[in-house]
Structure 1
């Protein structure tokens, strides 16, 4: 199982995964970024280890209408979301082991704990408001 590369033809598929309550792990990168190019194989391997989650590769330039307003400071940036709850948004070292631990630790949280953490800090509340991938897909049309 490989990650999905977001394009206009599969946006509805991704929105359905999020709407169905499935975990979505998105990597936001750029085609010109050498670090991202090297990380893609590790991200695909991570997807293979977690077949119960949807992994999506998003080129922030090709998909600017979806992610244009997100504050991507560095590559790769990961976004982890379950339903309408954004569990994590931020730059990540291109280390598959670190990403695997992050994905597993978030997926292990009970829904109530995930919701509590999502509202626990201003940064996390901003993620809910600004980084919800389902909302961004809907706004992009």
Structure 2
């Protein structure tokens, strides 16, 4: 199954999907970025490897009112979230094997384990305040 692409017409549908129990893996990219353009097929392959997760492609310029405050330093950037817990936010090598291992290892953690990591790491605590995709999309609706 290919990934979803967030756009102005499907925001409510995506928000409803985000409200579910599945892990969320979002790729934050830009249309002008050549690396992102070539990574799209890789991200769809990642979606096929993880059909139990919700994979979302987000163009940070087209969806600036949703993700405008996120500090995307380079492309592609992945955001991995479960419920209201942001488990990962960072630049990703454009390699499906690396992304697959990251998704596997991150989603193997329980919410309790994620909470412990958040409590003990200021960067992860910042992710909770600034990178929660569910909150960002709710605020943009």
Structures share fold, TM-score greater than 0.5: yes
Contact in 2 for aligned 1:18/1:84 (Cα 8 Å): no
For structure 2, the 5+ residue unaligned runs are none
Give, in angstroms, the shift of residue 114 of structure 1.
Answer: 1.7
How many matched pairs?
141
Deviations 1:48-93 (A, max 9, x none): 0100000000000000000000000000000000110000001111
Question: Does 2:86 align with 1:86?
Answer: yes
For 1:34-113, list aligned pairs within 5 A. Answer: 34-113=34-113
Contact in 2 for aligned 1:18/1:81 (Cα 8 Å): no
Structure 2 match to 1:124: 124
Deviations 1:23-63 (A, max 9, x none): 11000000000000010001000000100000000000000
Question: Does 2:26 align with 1:26?
Answer: yes
- Taking only aligned residues, the RMSD between alpha carbons, in angstroms, comes to 1.0
Which of structure 1's runs of 4+ aligned residues deviate more than 6 A?
none
Partner of 1:48, secondary structure, is helix
TM-score (norm 1): 0.96
